[in-house]
């Protein structure tokens, strides 16, 4: 006959107390004895064992932590990287074909808790550069604060991670107007130092309808110690997700750049809109950007399509890219036609092969280029 409920409860609490001061084997032996005597059921004993095991695991996890509560391999400290080795074959006479280390990067990031996260992203190819170094505080999905060095919220293609690009190189207009290789302020890898707020809101069917970002930046670029003028630049981006896998965005950048010979402060404004739609193995993307540097107005756009002929393995890509570096001058546009093939060995390794047919409006130059890039992420 089983003991009354009150007596059984007292005995169970005694076992739990004993578990805190005796060895695990002694506890296990005691539980087995009480099961035989009918004091505890097998289910109740298993529950006690599970509770004790959970406490022991928490104790071990705590011992692994350092004084800041960061655990190697946990969400608080995640280490990843990117290596891209490229071959460039030039049609143009006098330009040497070459192998090059396109990118070699190390990314350290993590969530200190549910509200605070950080990222430190470093480039080692060529001259070592600090790309990203920022912290974000999240109040809710609709309001996050970020401070430090990070990407400017302008241009869809500029914001896409280098490892996720469909083509080896970005478009002409993006390189010229999104603080990249041909921008008047020099190649800043699309980044600057400042603060921003961003978030998502209006959730429908499990997805947010709207995203926004608004930031204030130095306008001097990344990895610098001080601003080169007293003016602060403003950038913003607003996106709509009307249906699944479709994003339509508009963005702007208002600022001043310090450039030229001798260097002076000139107007440096940008505006644009873009869209991306993915359906099955097909992805369509287009973007238009315009900019004003001093008195010079520039604009351009691109449209591209990619398709997986073998799911997650073999992808074909095509792109049209046009750029006008000066709207006042005639016949200065450059039109690029790019065909590409991407082969994914697995989730971490990819071989990309592109051929770019470059066509100038005035004088056609034999400057087509063949590119191949092996990428590994870890």
Task: Enumerate the β-bridge partners of residue 356.
Answer: 338, 369
User: Taking residues 272-279, what's their average pLDDT?
Assistant: 98
Tell me: do 272 and 349 sit in the same domain: yes
Has residue 263 got a pLDDT over 70? yes
**Lowest-pLDDT range, 6-20, 97-111, 303-317?**
6-20
Tell me: do 133 and 221 sit in the same domain: yes
pLDDT of residue 73: 61
DSSP string, 207-271: EEEEEEEEEEE-SS-SS-SS-SSS--EEEEEEEE-SSTTEEEEEEEEEEEEEETTTTEEEEEEEE
- The answer to whether residue 183 sits within a structural domain is yes
User: Do the beta carbons of residue 269 and residue 297 sit within 8 Å?
Assistant: no
pLDDT: which is higher, 143 or 29: 143
Rg of the Cα atoms in the chain: 29
User: Do the beta carbons of residue 249 and residue 115 sit within 8 Å?
Assistant: no
pLDDT cut 90: percent of the chain above it: 75
Phi/psi at 325 (5° precision): -75, -10
Tell me: do 237 and 293 sit in the same domain: yes
Tell me: do 99 and 34 sit in the same domain: no
Tell me: do 316 and 285 sit in the same domain: yes
User: Taking residues 286-311, what's their average pLDDT?
Assistant: 98
> How do residues 171-218 score in pLDDT, each as one tens digit?
999 999 999 999 999 999 999 999 999 999 999 988 999 999 999 999
Interhelix angle for 24-36 vs 5-21, to 10°?
A: 160
Interhelix angle for 42-64 vs 24-36, to 10°?
A: 170
Tell me: do 84 and 59 sit in the same domain: no
Query: What is the domain-level CATH number for residue 92?
Result: 2.40.160.10
Task: Enumerate the β-bridge partners of residue 370.
Answer: 89, 355
pLDDT of residue 14: 52
* C-alpha distance from residue 374 to each of 32, 84, 101, 208, 348 (Å): 60, 6, 10, 35, 11
Tell me: do 150 and 84 sit in the same domain: yes
Tell me: do 43 and 172 sit in the same domain: no
- Please give the Cα distance from 192 to 150 (Å, whole number): 6
Tell me: do 40 and 82 sit in the same domain: no
The boundaries of the domain holding residue 305 are: 78-377
- Please give the Cα distance from 51 to 69 (Å, whole number): 24
- Please give the Cα distance from 146 to 215 (Å, whole number): 9
List the structure tokens of 212: 């926004």
pLDDT: which is higher, 73 or 344: 344
Task: Enumerate the β-bridge partners of residue 259.
Answer: 264
> How do residues 8-52 score in pLDDT, each as one tens digit?
544 544 544 444 444 455 667 776 766 776 766 877 767 777 777
- Please give the Cα distance from 192 to 204 (Å, whole number): 34
How many helices (H) and strands (E) are present in the chain, helices listed first?
A: 5, 16
- The answer to whether residue 69 sits within a structural domain is no
- Please give the Cα distance from 98 to 106 (Å, whole number): 24
């Amino acid at each position: 006959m089983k003991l009354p409920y009150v007596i059984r409860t007292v005995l169970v609490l005694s076992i739990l107390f004993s578990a805190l001061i005796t060895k695990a084997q002694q506890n296990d032996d005691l539980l087995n004895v009480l099961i035989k005597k009918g004091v505890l059921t097998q289910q109740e004993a298993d529950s006690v064992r599970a509770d004790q095991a959970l406490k022991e695991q928490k104790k071990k996890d705590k011992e692994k932590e350092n004084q800041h509560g960061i655990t190697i391999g946990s969400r608080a400290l995640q280490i990843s990287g990117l290596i891209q080795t490229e071959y460039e074959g030039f049609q143009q006479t006098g330009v040497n074909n070459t192998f090059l280390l396109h990118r070699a990067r190390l990314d350290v990031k993590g969530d200190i808790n549910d509200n605070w996260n950080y990222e430190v992203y470093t480039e080692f190819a060529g001259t070592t550069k600090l790309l990203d170094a920022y912290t974000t505080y999240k109040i809710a999905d609709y309001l996050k604060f970020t401070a430090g060095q990070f990407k400017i919220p302008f241009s869809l293609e500029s914001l896409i991670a280098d490892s996720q690009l469909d083509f080896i190189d970005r478009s002409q207009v993006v390189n010229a107007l999104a603080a990249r290789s041909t921008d008047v302020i020099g190649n800043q890898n699309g980044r600057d130092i400042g603060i921003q707020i961003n978030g998502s809101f209006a959730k429908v069917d499990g997805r947010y309808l709207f995203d926004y970002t608004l930031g204030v930046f130095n306008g001097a670029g990344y990895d610098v110690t001080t601003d080169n003028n007293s003016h602060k630049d403003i950038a913003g981006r607003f996106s709509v997700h009307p249906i699944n896998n479709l994003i339509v965005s508009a963005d702007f950048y208002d600022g001043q750049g310090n450039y030229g010979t001798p260097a002076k402060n000139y107007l440096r404004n940008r505006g644009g809109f873009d869209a991306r739609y993915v359906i099955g193995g097909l992805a369509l993307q287009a973007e238009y950007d315009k900019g004003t540097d001093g008195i010079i107005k520039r604009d351009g756009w691109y449209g591209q399509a990619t398709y997986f002929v073998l799911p997650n393995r073999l992808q074909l890509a095509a792109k049209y890219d046009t750029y006008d570096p000066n709207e006042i001058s005639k016949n200065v546009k450059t039109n690029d036609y790019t065909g590409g093939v991407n082969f994914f060995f697995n989730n971490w390794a990819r071989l990309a092969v592109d051929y770019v047919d470059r066509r100038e409006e005035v004088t056609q130059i034999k400057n087509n280029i063949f590119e191949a890039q092996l990428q590994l992420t870890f």
